[in-house]
Amino acid sequence: MTETIPAERPRLLPPPTRDRPALRDRLAGLVRGGADTARWERPAFLGLLLVTGVLYVVNLGVNGWANAFYSAAVQAGSQSWEAFFYGSSDAANAITVDKPPAFLWVIGISVRLFGLNSWSILVPQALMGVASVAVLYRIVRRRFSAGAALTAGAVLATTPVATLMFRYDNPDALLVLLTVGAIALTLRGIESGRMRWVVWAGVLVGLGFLTKELQAFLVLPPLVGVYLVASPRPVLRRIGHLLAAALAVVVSAGWWVAIVELVPASARPYVGGSQTNSFLELTFGYNGLGRVTGDETGSVVPGVRTGGWWVRRRSAMTWCGG
């Protein structure tokens, strides 16, 4: 009788290992760029970001508390998580500022980490300016020369109104970064034909709404039009991608709005700038059509009910004085 010798079980070879470059090599690659990148391009790009940061940060403390209206809300948010969430003007949560709170969240995290001071309020704004320049550079560089991309970034960095926005605590710094990011993601979606890019663009636009309401939607018509015309996908697929992106806008912008509208008025702060304690009324009234028609009821600027103050009484705002 012949003895049967069992065959050896095949051994699984370990997966091939990739030699990860040392940290020093990776940092050198960050400076030099890829193999097809000119030796001067990446240093020039990093130099642009450095100069932009210096431009926005040097002597930043001279602005003090900048917009004291929003700085007070940041201080309130550093003392109360409820005030942080709603964007309240005071830690007692009597009334919110007249904008959604996304930009206050960014500054508020900085203040909670580094304490309340002018620099912790304004440095995040300056960093968002540097990030905006970097994103714009990448947008232009994907299609044009390094010189064109550097020029575009430099123009944004030195535009006077941009210099003001990125050294102040208004919501515009975050709004610019989010809209430039949405443009970059939409263009990536056009290049690749993949839905995920336009969906993420929709997320950024929705977050832009939570920064400065309807102003964020001004970029939607050109983004939708460009994607419909230039996407490599069939027309029906393009429309499906845009519908998914629209859903992303609604979800990323609507979750906070839904909470504010559904929470009983007695359990949350009064919506500042509104006449009916409604964020939707603030969106389409004072911060919406009111900005077009000039009928900004509730404004604190001269000529519109000045000389008095608002007092909260049982979830309603009463005008006193003036």
pLDDT along the chain (322 residues), means of 10: 55 54 54 63 94 94 90 94 94 92 95 94 96 96 94 95 92 96 96 94 96 92 95 93 96 94 92 87 75 58 40 39 36
What is the C-alpha separation between 225 and 238, in angstroms, rounded?
11
Residue 260 has which token pair? Answer: 């504010």
What is the C-alpha separation between 223 and 179, in angstroms, rounded?
10
Dmax of the chain from CA atoms?
Answer: 114
Q: Which residues of 173-201 are buried (b: 16+ CB within 10 A; e: fewer)?
A: bbbbbbbbbbbbbbbbbbeeeebebbbbb
What is the C-alpha separation between 186 and 225, in angstroms, rounded?
11
Contact (Cβ atoms closer than 8 angstroms) between residue 47 and residue 134:
no
What is the C-alpha separation between 310 and 292, in angstroms, rounded?
25
What is the C-alpha separation between 322 and 320, in angstroms, rounded?
7
Helices (H), ranges, 37-117? 41-57, 68-79, 81-86, 102-114
What is the C-alpha separation between 111 and 169, in angstroms, rounded?
13
Q: What is the pLDDT of residues 260-284, one digit of tens each?
A: 999 999 999 999 888 888 888 888 8
What is the C-alpha separation between 217 and 241, in angstroms, rounded?
18
Identify the helix (H) or strand (E) that includes residue 261.
helix 235-262
Q: What is the pLDDT of residues 51-93, one digit of tens each?
A: 999 999 999 988 889 999 999 999 999 999 999 999 999 999 9
pTM of the model: 0.81
